[in-house]
Amino acid sequence: MLFISKGMNDTQNAPSKTIFSEIRKWKEENDAVILSHYYMPPELQTLTKDGGVADFIGDSLGLSIEASKVKAKNIIFCGVAFMAETAKILNPEKNVFIPDMDAGCSLASSITAQDVIDLKKKHPGVPVIAYINTYAETKAECDICCTSRNAMNIARSFEHDTLIFVPDVYMGQNLQKGIEKETGKKLILWHGRCEVHEQFTNTSLSTMRMMYPDAEMLMHWEVPEETVEESFHDRGGVLGSTNDIIRYVGESRSKKFILASECDLGAILKGTYPDREFITPCIKCPYMKKISLVNTLAALKAIGTDDARKYEVNLSPDIISRAYVPVKRMLEFS
């Protein structure tokens, strides 16, 4: 169990100031911006204007929107590969780089484009909603993308009685509950799982629930349905997207929260609400943690050299134009 009490500014092993200033210098020199996800290590979750390196910090929807507004020629994406691909889909004329190409995602790799083609053959005429956590080739076969922030609104918008939702089975089950109650719609689900959020079980949360009977629950939609049933419904708090979680803490009167989402989301929560207490089993995404200040600097320095190939996201024009359709439709809901 971990109490989140520190951000990057007071971490004992804080990175040297030199690397921050070097990154800022290379960003300027190479006309680049850094987009950084809330699950990045805390040192990548501080804005340039506050002495850090990120130009924008957000969840996957926020980063997708920001990617579509970027003016710089080069984007360094501090997140995982499917997110960097989304930035490329929205900015085909820009160069998009990821500091480590191996920053994958268990959800994105659970489904291929062929799997979607097969699902559509099996269920002709049923629209396919793809969670943003999919690779570009998979997106290209889907009708619309969604994030945990807009999934409910998007599912609601279809007139069909049945929808296909891929790839997260847990988020799909949680979404199914809400949408079925409200509209009677049924979802056909895939079997993907986020290997971080599936670890939030009733057992893993039981000790902290016992020790903190008055703490509210901050729970991501990607946790298993039975955890939501037992550990959320009798306690209250928020069940939603990363942004819903951040917003909820600001609106709540509670001083203590149990965080059932990626550990480093605690950095932005504690930074934004220093007077609140956050307790978490501290489960970290191994893919997100592949990104560091060191490889971010290396990617920046590589821009314009042969080494850039190691970091640059490349998608074929055909995949970009087909994947753009479901991503653009999703952004119209934002």
Candidates 89-97, 139-147, 234-242, 281-289 — which segment interacts with ligand SF4 by CB under 6 A? 281-289
Using the contact rule CB under 6 A, the part of the chain among 89-97, 145-153, 194-202, 315-323 near ligand SF4 is: 194-202
Q: Which of 105, 142, 246, 293 binds ligand SF4 (CB under 6 A)?
A: 105
> Which member of 97, 190, 287, 311 binds ligand SF4 (CB under 6 A)?
287
Question: How many whole angstroms from its chain centre is CA 288?
Answer: 10
Rule CB under 6 A: choose which of 288, 291, 315, 320 binds ligand SF4: 288
Are 286 and 12 a contacting pair, CB within 8 Å? no
Q: Is 190 in the site for ligand SF4 (CB under 6 A)?
A: no
Integer Cα distance of 327 and 322 in angstroms: 9
Determine, following the binding rule CB under 6 A, whether residue 59 of this chain makes contact with ligand SF4.
Answer: no
Q: How far is the CB of 78 from ligand SF4 (least distance, A)?
A: 12
Instruction: Please give the helix or strand (H or E) that residue 218 lies within, else none.
Output: strand 216-220
> Does 195 interact with ligand SF4 (rule: CB under 6 A)?
yes
3-class state of residue 128 by DSSP: strand
Phi, psi of 178 (to 5 degrees): -65, -45
Among 4, 107, 303, 330, the residue binding ligand SF4 under the rule CB under 6 A is 107
- For β-strands 277-280 and 2-4, DSSP reports them as antiparallel
| Alpha-carbon gap, residue 295 to 325, rounded angstroms | 32
User: Smaller CB distance to ligand SF4: residue 40 or 76?
Assistant: 40
Question: Could you tell me the smallest distance in angstroms from the CB atom of residue 63 to ligand SF4?
Answer: 12
By CB under 6 A, residue 133 contacts ligand SF4? yes
**Is residue 80 close enough to count as binding ligand SF4 by CB under 6 A?**
yes
Angle at 99 between CA 268 and CA 300, to 5 degrees: 100
Q: Which two tokens stand for residue 64?
A: 């997708």
DSSP 249-298: HHH---SEEEEES-TTHHHHHHHH-TTSEEEE-----TTGGG--HHHHHH
Among 111, 169, 194, 268, binds ligand SF4 (CB under 6 A): 194
Q: Which of 20, 167 has the CB closer to ligand SF4?
A: 167
Structure tokens at 289: 């943690």
**Can you tell me the distance from the alpha carbon of 46 to that of 41, in angstroms, rounded to the nearest whole number?**
10
Q: How far is CA 185 from the centre of its chain?
A: 26
262 binds ligand SF4 (CB under 6 A): yes
36 sits near ligand SF4 (criterion: CB under 6 A): no
Interacting span for ligand SF4 (CB under 6 A) from 102-110, 120-128, 174-182, 300-308? 102-110
Among 196, 218, 228, 269, binds ligand SF4 (CB under 6 A): 196
Q: How many residues bind ligand SF4 (CB under 6 A)?
A: 13
How many helices and strands (H and E) does the chain possess?
Answer: 13, 13
Which parts of this chain interact with ligand SF4 (CB under 6 A)?
Answer: 39, 80, 105-107, 133, 194-196, 262, 285, 287-288
